[in-house]
Amino acid sequence: MKELLDSVLLGIVQGLTEFLPVSSSGHLVLTQEILGTQLGKGILFEVAVHLATLFAILIYYRRRVARLAYGTVTRNRHALEYVGKLALGTLPAVAAALFLRSWIEAQFNSLLVVGICLIVTGFLVWSTRFSIAALDDQGSDEPGWGAALLIGCVQAIAILPGISRSGSTVAAGLVLGLHPLAAAEFSFMLGMIAMAGAGVLLLPELTSIDANLLGSIAAGSLAALLSGLAALVAFVWLLRTQRFYAFAWYAWIVGAVTIGWSILQ
C-alpha cells in the first residue's frame, strides 16, 4: 500500500512540476528524500511518468500536433520548417544526454545542487515579468533558426535537477522575442520530443522489471497524466494573465530551504 501511495504522490509531483516552472527533477529528488522511497529512481517508473506527461502534451496540443503531422506528410513548407526547428532545438539536449550522462546523474544525488538550481530557476522565472511587459502583447509566432538553437541549449542546461525545463525555455523564448503563447508552445513541443527521446534511451535498461511494481507504476503514470493536464492549463493561464513570474518566490523559498537542509545533514 505504501508503494502505491508513494507512486501516486510522485506521479502528481511529476505531472504538476513538469509543466509549472519549478523543476520536476528537483521536486522528485526532494519528494523521494521526504518519503524515504527509492521508487522514483527506478528506470521503469521514470520512463512511465515521462511518457504520461508526454501524452498530456499530446492531448493539450492535439490540434497543433495533428496540423504539423499532416503538414509534414504533405510537405507543407511552414510545417517542415517548424519541425526542423524543433529538431535543431533538440540536438543540444541529445548531446548532453549522450556525453554528460554520468556527470548529470551524479548531480541528482546532491541536495545542494538542487537548491542552487532552484534559486537559478527563480531568477529565470522572475525575468519573465519584464520580458512579457516589454513585448506588450506583441512578439513572433515562432522562433527563427538561431533562436530555436538557443532555446535548445537552455533546455540542455535544464537537465540539471532544480532547473525548470518549461520555465527556462519559456523565459529564453520571451527574451528572444516570442509571443508568450508561442514560447509556451515551442517549449512544450521541444519537451515532448525530449521525453520521447529519454524513453528511447532508457528502453535497453528495462530488462529487470519487477512485476510486483507494475500496479503502482500504472497508478503513478495516471496521476502524472491528470496532474500534468491540469498544470498545462494553469501554465498557459498564468502566461495569459502575466502572473507567471510569481512562481519565482516559490522556487527561491524551496531552493533556500533545500540548501539549508543540505548543509545541516
Between 143 and 212, the more confident residue is 143
Instruction: For residue 61, give every residue at least 6 positions away whose Cβ sits within 8 Å of its Cβ, in sequence order, or none.
Output: 185, 188, 189
| Domain hosting residue 46, numbered range | 2-264
Q: Is the pLDDT of residue 229 over 90?
A: yes
Domain count, the chain: 1
The predicted-structure confidence for 163-187, as pLDDT tens digits, reads as follows 999 999 999 999 999 999 999 999 9
DSSP for residue 42:
S
Q: Is the pLDDT of residue 212 over 70?
A: no
Contact 43, 255 (CB under 8 A): no
For residue 42, name the pLDDT band (cuts at 50, 70, 90): low
Q: In terms of C-beta density within 10 A (0-12 exposed, 13-18 middle, 19 or more buried), how is residue 205 classed?
A: exposed
Query: What is the structure's pLDDT at 105?
Result: 82
Contact 62, 188 (CB under 8 A): no
CA–CA separation, 196 vs 70, rounded Å? 20
Contact 152, 93 (CB under 8 A): yes
User: What distances in angstroms separate CA 53 from CA 47, 91, 166, 196, 215, one per listed residue?
Assistant: 10, 21, 13, 10, 18
Query: What is the structure's pLDDT at 43?
Result: 55
Contact 7, 217 (CB under 8 A): yes
Q: Is the pLDDT of residue 100 over 70?
A: yes
Query: What is the structure's pLDDT at 197?
Result: 75
Between 178 and 195, the more confident residue is 178
Q: Which helix (H) or strand (E) holds 202?
A: helix 180-202
Mean of the pLDDT values across residues 60-76?
Answer: 94
Mean of the pLDDT values across residues 183-204?
Answer: 81
User: What one-letter code names the amino acid at 159?
Assistant: I
Least confident segment among 152-156, 207-211, 216-220, 225-229: 207-211
For residue 38, name the pLDDT band (cuts at 50, 70, 90): low
The predicted-structure confidence for 118-164, as pLDDT tens digits, reads as follows 999 999 999 999 998 888 778 899 999 999 999 999 999 998 988 99
Query: What is the structure's pLDDT at 203?
Result: 64
Instruction: State whether residue 178 is helix, strand or coil.
Output: strand
Cα 157–chain centre separation? 12
Query: What is the structure's pLDDT at 77?
Result: 94
Q: Is the pLDDT of residue 211 over 80?
A: no
CA–CA separation, 229 vs 223, rounded Å? 10
For residue 209, name the pLDDT band (cuts at 50, 70, 90): low
Cα dihedral value 90, 97, 27, 173, nearest 10: -20
**Beta bridge pairs of residue 140:** 178
Contact 124, 168 (CB under 8 A): yes
Instruction: For residue 92, give every residue at least 6 positions away whose Cβ sits within 8 Å of its Cβ, in sequence order, or none.
Output: 149, 152, 153, 155, 156
Instruction: For residue 64, give every residue at least 6 positions away whose Cβ sits within 8 Å of its Cβ, in sequence order, or none.
Output: 185, 189
